[in-house]
Every structure is written in C-alpha cells, then in structure tokens.
Structure 1
Amino acid sequence: MFDIDWRGLVVPLAYLVVLGGTFVTFSTIYRKRKAVESANLAPWFGPHLQRNIYLSLLHLEPENGSEKTPKVPDSVLRAALLRRAVEDIRRIIQIRTAKAACSSLLQRGSVGDDLWQRFQRAEKEVEDELRDVVMEANALSPNWGQIIFQSANEIAANTALREQLDDITKQTEHEKEWWEKRRAAIKSEFLKELEDESEKPTQAKSVAGSEDSEPVLVDTNTPSATPGGKKKKGRK
C-alpha cells in the first residue's frame, strides 16, 4: 500500500476548489447580467393587440357574480383566436424573411450582438405563441388546432392581395390624373401653335396689300412724252 501525503495535497486541492468556485461565480454573474441586458432590450415586434383582445374576451366574467354580463359566445372567441393566428402568420413571415439577413450581417460584423439577441428572443416568443394558439384552438373545438393556421394563412394571403390591389388602384388613379393634366397641357400648346400659324398668313396679306395700294406720285409740271419719244409743240 502506498502512503498518501494528505498534507501535500492540501494546496493543490485548495487551488482547484478556489478555481472552480471562481469559475462558477463568474458564470453565474455573467448569465444574470446577460439576462438583465436581454430583458432591457427593445422588443422586435410591437404589442400583440389580437392576443390581448382574445385574452380579454376569454377571461371576461360577470361583475360581482351577477348574471347581467352575458358570457362571450364561442363563435366570437373563435373569430378572435383566428385573427390572433393571422397576426402570428404575419410575424412568422417577417421572422423568416429577416433571419437570413440578420445572420449574414452578424457574420460580417455590420450589426452587434444586441440585435441578434432581440431576434432570437422574438423567434422564441413566436414559437411559444404558436403552441399557445394550437392549445387554445383545440380547447375551443376538437382538432381545430391542426387546421387553424392553414385558415389563417389563407386569410393573410387574401388580405395581402387586397392591399396590393388597393395600392395598384390608387397608383392608377394618380397616373390617370397626371395624364389628364399632361394631355390638357399638350392640347393647349397645340392650339397655341395653330393660332400662331393662322396669324402668319394674315400678316403677310396685310403687308402685300399695303405695297399694292401705295399711291403713285405724278409730276404735273413735266410735259408728257409722245409714243415716238418727241415732245408735242404748241401752235403759234
């Protein structure tokens, strides 16, 4: 059997304990600081109005235990939950669109870690929101959670299409007004050119008439000449 020198191992063991305690303390403090900084970051999305409306309708109860306030119908709750799912679809599309861009900018160093932390927190919130919507849909109607996002996707696509059509209609009206103004300006310029062209012959005729009607001065003191070129002699 080998004799163990415990006195000689006290210093290395104490060093390892101090080193491990320092590492654990630093890791705990660092994680708490990161959690506080992440909580203080601005949210990626604004307030979820549709979710707040649904929760308000779901937890609406009669005041003071009386029955004056009627219970919210299930059809209204389903409509509110569907609108909540439509908003979630819109946020999912934004997250998927921005993920590649944010990752590329982070690798290039164009953005800081704060933006990436905001994005990751928003992505996790959207995932939790989707699970919550599926649970609420199944609670309102069995197996509705499997198709609620399909219906919400169709509604979101229809809404986006109508917004595009409205934008095209507004742009068409704007271009039509511009073209009407432009056509009126071109017409006025064309009429002005026609008037200028019609005035030019009138001025030319007036100038020619003035030249033809110029009076001829006749000298009465000069004797008239005969066809032969001789002057007439008076009788004596």
Structure 2
Amino acid sequence: MPAEAAATDPDVLAFSEKLDRWRAKIQAAEREIADSATTDEDLRNIPDELEELRQTIIDRRAKLRPSLEDRRERLAKLGPAPKDDAPRESDEIAEQRKQLEEEVADIDGKLKQADVLFVRAGQVIDQANEARRDRFTDSLFRPVPNLYSSILPTALETLPQQFVRIFAEAEERIAEAWSKGVLVFGLLLIAPFGAAFAASRFAPRLAPSASRPVKPPVFRTGASR
C-alpha cells in the first residue's frame, strides 16, 4: 500500500492523474490506427500528437524525480532496520523508515509507469507511420478505371440523355416562335432559303471585273494611212 504522505503529495497526485490521461490518449491513438475509417489526415496527426506527449512525459518525470531522490536520501540517513540480535530501535524511527520505503516504492513505480508509456507511445508512432505506408502502397496497386471499363460506358449511357435534351431545347424554341405568331414562325423558316437565293443571284455581279478577258489595244502605224 502506498504511504499516505505520498498519496497526498500534490506533485505525486498530479503525476498520477497525468498517467491516466497519457494512457487514455495512447489507447485512443491505437484505436484510430486500427479503424479503417480513420482518414489519412488523422493518421498523419497521430505521430505529432504522441511526440508531444512523449516530451510532456519527459518534463513531468524530471519534475517528480527530485521528490524520489529526497525520500531516498532521508531513508539512507535512517539506515537499514536493525537485525534481530541488534538493539531494538524506537517505534518512531521504525515507522518513519516504513513510511519512506512505501513512498519511495510508490513514486518509483509511477516513474516506471511513465517510462513504459513513453516507450509505448513511440511504438504507436511507428504503427501510425506503417499504416500510412500501407495505405500508400495499396493506392499504388489499386486498379485505375480505363477508357473501356469506365469512361466509355458512362459516355454511352449519357448519350441518349443528351439527344433528349437537344430535342427538348429545339421543341422549346419552336414553341416560343409559334407563340409569337405564325407569320414570325414562317419568316424564321423562309429566311435561310431567301438568303441562299439572294446569294446565288447577286454573287456573280459582285465578282471582280478582272475575271473578264481584256482585249489588247490596237495601235495604228503610219503605213496604214
């Protein structure tokens, strides 16, 4: 049983609470790694979070270490318990030695638990990195849809829908023209034919005159007079 003084020491008590939090955080990280629903971003954050936790363990452990050394030093000053054939020591000294021994065992045990969690956090970091590598390797060998297995069937599947949309738009425009009057609708239908007729009639007249043959000029000489 731990000594009452060690159990009520603020530093020891705070360290005990930290141990529980560190252990819970490491266990949560292990569950995330094992869960296939965990995103790559979460896996990437696990090593950073656990590295921060490991540094916290180092700092907290360094703060508690002097308490252990202090009790060990006081215990060493009391010396070992006398042997059976030696003179009996006072009850006060015996009780003090027993209390210090329990406190030393309690604090030393908590520091060793912190060491175990420190190592365990490092192992979980390796597991997270390995899980990321495995996911990356799987993504490299995952089959990629090609033209014939995915793109072409999808295009053929949507082709009838495209025709339906084109006809629907044409029908909508015809209905809109009809709503504006039969005359306008007729003009819209005749306009292309009229434009073609006009082009066939006036295009030859607009042709350049250079295309017609030009007669060479005739010069009269003096002998012809």
Greater relative contact order: 1 or 2 (C-alpha under 8 angstroms, separation 6 or more)? 2
TM range (shorter): 0.3 to 0.5
Relative to the length of structure 1, the TM-score reads 0.33
Higher percent of residues as helix? 2
Relative to the length of structure 2, the TM-score reads 0.34
